[in-house]
Chain A
Amino acid sequence: QKEVEQNSGPLSVPEGAIASLNCTYSDRGSQSFFWYRQYSGKSPELIMSIYSNGDKEDGRFTAQLNKASQYVSLLIRDSQPSDSATYLCAVNLSAGNKLTFGGGTRVLVKP
């Protein structure tokens, strides 16, 4: 079992719809969770961090964390073509205090 797992996609959503991305992790002691966006040929860019159970909203992005079920999700509301990218889930695993990344979910927003 991979430490951080994501569906590779592509997740195709029409413009204006909600994109829902999921990530599961194996280490129950993990405390910090991050979503990075990576455009093709570019480096990862931090868009959200979440540390407590529940929802955290920032503009059109909402991160959701459920530590009991060991998953973290990202919702993108009113999806735009500019949101087309790969979204990387990263977890600060309790052992070693370092970020472990999932393989990423590719999102395609179609006009």
Chain B
Amino acid sequence: EAGVAQSPRYKIIEKRQSVAFWCNPISGHATLYWYQQILGQGPKLLIQFQNNGVVDDSQLPKDRFSAERLKGVDSTLKIQPAKLEDSAVYLCASSMTTDTQYFGPGTRLTVL
């Protein structure tokens, strides 16, 4: 069974630029999550989708972050404009229920 796929694996941008990340969940998993993990901290949930609907985006900085999951499968997370403090690893996870989650390899973002 293929795992959660993410791309790109690494991205370096300058502040005020925009960036987008892509995630393809495990086949059949209805729930998809985006997390931000700052170095030395645990993952922080940014947004949770159930199929193509948003379940929770309470911690998503909506002035600069956006996410969509068209057709209820893959998803994109966008940051525009990026700030220095956005430097982190962005993790995508999926689950069949809202319980056991499986993580992708992550995208390491560096904002200069």
In the complex, the number of residue pairs spanning A and B with C-beta atoms less than 8 Å apart equals 48
Shortest distance between the CB of A94 and any CB in chain B (Å): 12
Contact with A along B39-50 (1 / 0, CB 8 A): 011111100100
Q: What number of A residues sit within 8 Å (CB to CB) of B? A: 22
> Across the interface, which residues of B come within 8 angstroms of A17, CB to CB?
none
Indicate which residue in B41, B101, B106 contacts A99 across the interface (CB closer than 8 Å).
B101
Q: Give chain B's interface secondary structure class.
A: loop
Query: When the two chains form their complex, are residues B44 and A101 in contact, meaning their CB atoms are under 8 A apart?
Result: yes
Shortest distance between the CB of A31 and any CB in chain B (Å): 9
Q: What number of B residues sit within 8 Å (CB to CB) of A? A: 22
Q: Which residues in window 55-112 of B have CB below 8 A to A?
A: 55-56, 58, 89, 91, 98-106
Query: When the two chains form their complex, are residues A34 and B42 in contact, meaning their CB atoms are under 8 A apart?
Result: no
Contact with B along A11-46 (1 / 0, CB 8 A): 000000000000000000000101000000011111
Query: Is A107 in the interface zone, CB < 8 Å from B?
Result: no
Shortest distance between the CB of A60 and any CB in chain B (Å): 20
Query: When the two chains form their complex, are residues B45 and A98 in contact, meaning their CB atoms are under 8 A apart?
Result: yes
Q: How far is the CA of A44 from the CA of B45 in the complex (A)?
A: 14
Q: How far is the CA of A45 from the CA of B58 in the complex (A)?
A: 25
Shortest distance between the CB of B7 and any CB in chain A (Å): 14
Query: Contacts A98-B98, A101-B43; is A43 near B48 (CB within 8 Å)?
Result: no
Closest to A89 in B: B42
- Chain A residues at the B interface, C-beta cutoff of 8 Å: 4, 8, 32, 34, 42-46, 49, 88, 90, 92, 96-104
For the A-B complex with A43-B103, A88-B42, A90-B42 known, give 15 more contacts whose Cβ atoms are closer than 8 Å.
A4-B42, A42-B105, A43-B89, A43-B104, A46-B100, A88-B43, A98-B45, A98-B55, A98-B56, A99-B45, A100-B45, A101-B43, A101-B44, A102-B42, A103-B42
A–B complex contacts, Cβ < 8 Å, 5 sampled: A43-B89, A43-B105, A46-B102, A98-B33, A99-B33
